Amino acid sequence: MMSEMFEYAPAPESRSAVRIEDSYGLFVDGEFVSAKRTFPTIDPATEEVLAEVAEAGAEEVDLAVAAARTAFERVWGPMSGRERAKYLYRIARIIQERSRELAVLESIDNGKPIRETRDFDLPQAAAHFFYHAGWADKLEYAGYGTTPIGVAGQIIPWNFPLLMLAWKIAPALACGNTVVLKPAETTPLTALAFADICRQAELPPGVVNIVTGGPQTGRLLVEHPGVDKIAFTGSTEVGRAIARAVVGTGKRLGLELGGKGANIVFDDAPLDQAVEGIVDSIFFNQGQVCCAGSRLLVQESVAEELLARLKERTATLRLGDPLDKNTDVGAINSAAQLARISELTASGEAEGAERWSPECALPERGFWFAPTILTGVALSHRVAREEIFGPVLSVLTFRTPAEAVEKANNTPYGLSAGVWTEKGSRILSMAQKLRAGVVWANTFNRFDPASPFGGYKESGFGREGGRQGLEAYLAQ
Amino acid sequence: MPSKSKKPGSAGRPEPRGAAAAGGAARLRVRKTYKLFIGGAFPRSESGRSYVVNDSRGEFLANASWASRKDVRDAVVAARRAFGGWSGKTPYNRGQILYRIAEMLEGRGRQFVEELRDGGLSREAAEAEVDAAVDRWVWYAGWADKIAQVAGAVNPVAGPFLNVSTPEPTGVVGMLAPRESPLLGLVSVLAPAIVTGNTAVVVADSPLVAVTFAEVLATSDLPAGVVNILTGPREELAPWLAGHMDVNAVDLAGASEELANACETAAAGNLKRVLRPAATDWSADPGTERMTALLETKTVWHPIGV
Amino acid sequence: MADALSVTSVNELRGILHGLPGVDQVGVEARAARLGTRSVKNESKARAVDLAISMVDLTSLEGADTPGKVRALCAKAVHTAPGAPTVGAVCVYPDLVKVAVDALRGSGVGVASVATAFPAGRAPLAVKLEDTRQAVADGASEIDMVIDRGAFLTGDYAKVYDEITAVKEACGAAHLKVILETGELATYDNVRRASWLAMLAGADFIKTSTGKIQPAATAPVVLLMLQAVRDFRERHGRTVGVKPAGGIRTTKDAIRMLVLVNEVAGPDWLDPRLFRIGASSLLNDLLMQREKFATGVYSGPDYFTLD
């Protein structure tokens, strides 16, 4: 993809920045404890086993919830907001201090490029703790009361493991709750490193408990009677099951689920930045982003020019070793995810879309999928309706602003949308009409702890981040 | 809420209910047909069914429409159709219309007092309920152009972006009106839903009060379909409403625990926002929670540059 | 090289320039910053350093310049370091062109002269044209002209266009580099418009800055100009070069420029005929890096000539 004259030599970040243990226990009540069963976590770029990780069963989940309950009642709940704040600031600082180690670890366990873990995941994770630390002693000004809910059971996905942990744990702790967090089965390592950060911060035992495991562990946590609040980020399917599981229990619920974001480009858009925005919207994190702009809606009058530029730009993306600082597109997180991406993309082709990828050699081992653009997609195609969660862009066209809105909103999801146009009034009109929790105008995939994030419709309910995000962890 | 001070026969009524008084001098009263309120019209149930509504002494008052699942469907269609226009009105305009509802309700106060008394309330209690209901509309009317200022924000993000969060209505809300407070309860769930731009399909508890209230709505410049009122057994209608894939939220205020659980399970089908039933003093200051529960926060980013 | 594209009216020119897609400041700065994180190592870096040396327009544009100073500069341009390429050209004021031409005769290194009342450009057109003709007559193979920023900012695009075409004509066979002085153009939209204006009027190169105004060759500005030459070739079939000048002092700066060239305009522009870097102190830093590759240890300024 690059000129031979100026081929970048490999520039790998050193693995020695992190020491991965052979095996990891659960983090319960401030201690690492073993479980009866374990499961391996692998490096998706090489398929090498990185470590054996404990799988929490009923007994271990019980212990974790009990530890969280005790910590809530005896220590964390009664503690003043001012003191809680200082713990969170400490954690934020330690994340910054250990950011290189954590970035490398995240890239190894998840497969995402080091450029992203280093420049996005880690700074954002630290920022979330800083932001929420400041709320801990100011809750009376937020408008949701100051009473914590109790023990929060939190289940996070594998696409931004440490960042999603921060999104969950920082507000919960700031509001005075204690947590039992289950990281995703394929990406447990940074959560376990976070457990060590809690120890370094001298966080009281039981305030944060990490239970690793698969769907069964998640189910145990959701159904545990000692849990007062469930916060889940993941697929809409699982979200639905959780919503049913909490019926009649009185548990509070927050869901951040799937999306099929429309990224709308008008013919007067700043085209080069739109191209960058499209690349960011679908190839960032290998497209494994719930708010990805996976449907590109481009005005017909500019479609040809835009697509030519987009393909040219996509061809410059560098796919490969996640630890290489020049890598733009890393590995897909798991074999299962790769299979899903492959199957859906093939269905797009079968249904009549035209498939394009730049010439790009995929490594032999590991899970890889080349950046892919499907053109000629219709709303009726599966690739325009189902979340692919991979580096696959479905391109549709429109003629008028009204048609763009109609197509953008024609989905059960409502998480994100993008608008590209130089016309101010059109931006505001589109932003008003799009039924999505976040609208990026002339930009895409921007995040900030002060900015509430969450979906409309089947993309879930509740917000994370900002003042609004506190509501999820306060009893009103 | 049965009243202790109920006297036989509703005082103040122009004539006794039922047949004309003997003697022929008295005029036969023209009764009202209590129908459903869907899309701004008053249709009978498409099923043709009705059920008898008696007063608190067991005497016949009216045959109310017994809505069917198809009426639920039609009401949701009407509510969805009304959503774009209603949510797109200026908040100032919505506030004026809500205030107009208060005006219309005030003017019909006597009628509601009578209907509430038929349901067993004392005169004082009935008058208090009507007064509170009027005041509640006035209170919510004022929120129309203020809630976004309270619930929204410009967020100080770490970068060259304008980042604005605004609350937007969730969409079509299915509601089970509270059982214990026929008018004030109904008003207290409806007003916070529609003031922000949602549209509603409500299964009423006290059919006569609810249908008379629909007449208030029909004369208040409220666009057709913004509120749709169904009467009939909630156990039959609620699951259809909760399961409907074009309903965005359900307020289960008037559901029993069992019904609430069934509805919440059905609501998970499309991840509706669910307001679970809770012990509520409908006469108390409602706060903003019922409004914010039916709002979505939309956050818009735009770069700042030259 | 093709000359100016015929633009029939002032309105047409305005229509073309204002019809260009807008530039989002935050977006272009973010893209440039991200390209700045590219890590160029080992043999790639060694190749990049030599390429950068060959692209340097070794420049001295001081009021205190003398024939002696220019001769020293020329010597350095030719004898960069053992085994290292010569620089692209030497860039001097018009009155010193003759000195430079004499000093560089037979070396293959060209002489570029600033002209048109550099750096402000505030002189009558006749003076600017005479300035140009004299420099060419004295042997300059490249002319670096400045545009009339005042005219550009008042929207008198026709005046800027006409001046460029006139200077181009005065250049004869010499290559014309058009300096936009982006630091005075205030917005990225203007950078894009000025780039197109210069190319439409027949520029062989578009150049960021005089070096006398800050900011000069920032990464986003260079990125935009690289997009402009890429798009101009696609639309009109003519390839125009780019020359950032001002503020590029270190090897790291230079390599960032090459990354921009590679990933924005494309590898075709990784060629001294199409990409130059206007600089004075940069050359020594490139040579020190080169030495580091050769010896494995970091070098110091004492081992490189000051000229």
**What are the φ and ψ backbone dihedral angles of B295, each rounded to 5 degrees?**
-125, 145
Residues β-bridged to residue A253: A230
- How many domains are there within chain C? 1
What is the value of ipTM here, to two decimals? 0.96
Q: What is the average per-residue pLDDT within A263-280?
A: 97
**Strand pairing report for A208-210 and A229-233:** unpaired
Q: Residue B10: what pLDDT?
A: 43
Considering CB atoms only, which of A8, A9, A442 is closest to C24? A442
Q: Residue C305: what pLDDT?
A: 81
What is the residue extent of each domain of chain A?
15-257+456-473, 262-441
Q: Does B161 touch chain C (CB under 8 A)?
A: yes
CATH superfamily for A262-441 is Aldehyde Dehydrogenase; Chain A, domain 2 (3.40.309.10)
Q: Which residue has the tokens 């869901």?
A: A255
Nearest chain B Cα to C25, which residue? B305
Six-digit token string for A325: 């600082």
**DSSP state letter for B37:** B
Q: What is the average per-residue pLDDT within A320-344?
A: 98
Residue C20 lies in a domain: yes
Chain A CB contacts of C38 under 8 Å are 8, 325-326
**DSSP state letter for C264:** I
Show the domain range for C178.
10-42+109-275
Same fold across A15-257+456-473 and A262-441: no
Q: Is the pLDDT of residue B16 over 80?
A: no
Q: Give percent of chain A above pLDDT 90.
A: 97
Q: What is the pLDDT of residues A92-147, one digit of tens each?
A: 999 999 999 999 999 999 999 999 999 999 999 999 999 999 999 999 999 999 99
Q: Does C33 touch chain B (CB under 8 A)?
A: no
Six-digit token string for C110: 């060209």
Contact B160 C26 (CB under 8 A): yes
Please state, rounded to an integer, the average pLDDT across all residues of chain A.
Answer: 97
Q: Reduce the secondary structure of chain A to three states and give it as a string.
A: CCCHHHCCCCCECCHHHCCCCCEECEEECCEEECCCEEEEEEECCCCEEEEEEEECCHHHHHHHHHHHHHHHHHHHCCCCHHHHHHHHHHHHHHHHHCHHHHHHHHHHHHCCCHHHHHHHHHHHHHHHHHHHHHHHCCHHHCCCCCCECCEEEEECCCCCHHHHHHHHHHHHHHCCCEEEEECCCCCCHHHHHHHHHHHHCCCCCCCEEECCCCHHHHHHHHHCCCCCEEEEECCHHHHHHHHHHCCCCCCEEEEECCCCCEEEECCCCCHHHHHHHHHHHHHHHHHCCCCCCCEEEEEHHHHHHHHHHHHHHHCCCCECCCCECCCCECCCCCHHHHHHHHHHHHHHHHCCCEEECCCCCCCCCCCCCCCEEEECCCCCCHHHHCCCCCCEEEEEEECCHHHHHHHHHCCCCCCEEEEECCCHHHHHHHHHHCCCCEEEECCCCCCCCCCCECCCHHHEECCECCCHHHHHHECC
**What are the φ and ψ backbone dihedral angles of C111, each rounded to 5 degrees?**
-115, 125
Chains that touch C (3 or more CB pairs under 8 A): A, B
Instruction: Give the Cα separation of C112 and C118 in Å (integer).
Output: 13
Residues β-bridged to residue C243: C207
Instruction: Give the Cα separation of A315 and A313 in Å (integer).
Output: 5
Q: What is the pLDDT of residues B100-138, one digit of tens each?
A: 999 999 999 999 999 999 999 999 999 999 999 999 999
Upstream peptide bond of C220 is cis (omega within 30 degrees of 0): no
Q: Which residue has the higher pLDDT, C301 or A157?
A: A157
Instruction: Give the Cα separation of B77 and B174 in Å (integer).
Output: 12
Residue B89 confidence class, pLDDT cut points 50, 70, 90: very high
Residue B23 confidence class, pLDDT cut points 50, 70, 90: low
**Strand pairing report for A392-398 and C277-279:** unpaired
Upstream peptide bond of C119 is cis (omega within 30 degrees of 0): yes
Contact A277 C38 (CB under 8 A): no
**Domains defined along chain B, listed by start:** 50-280+287-303 (3.40.605.10)
Please state, rounded to an integer, the average pLDDT across all residues of chain C.
Answer: 95
From B162's Cα to the closest Cα of chain C, the distance in A is 12
Q: Residue B22: what pLDDT?
A: 53
Residues from B contacting A (CB-CB < 8 Å) are 150-151, 153, 155-159, 161, 163, 165, 170-171, 248, 257, 261, 264-265, 267-271, 273, 276, 289, 292, 296-303
Q: What is the pLDDT of residues C16-40, one digit of tens each?
A: 999 999 999 999 999 999 999 999 9
Residue B269 confidence class, pLDDT cut points 50, 70, 90: very high
**DSSP state letter for B14:** S
User: How many residues in chain B?
Assistant: 306
Residue C167 lies in a domain: yes
Assigned CATH for A15-257+456-473: 3.40.605.10
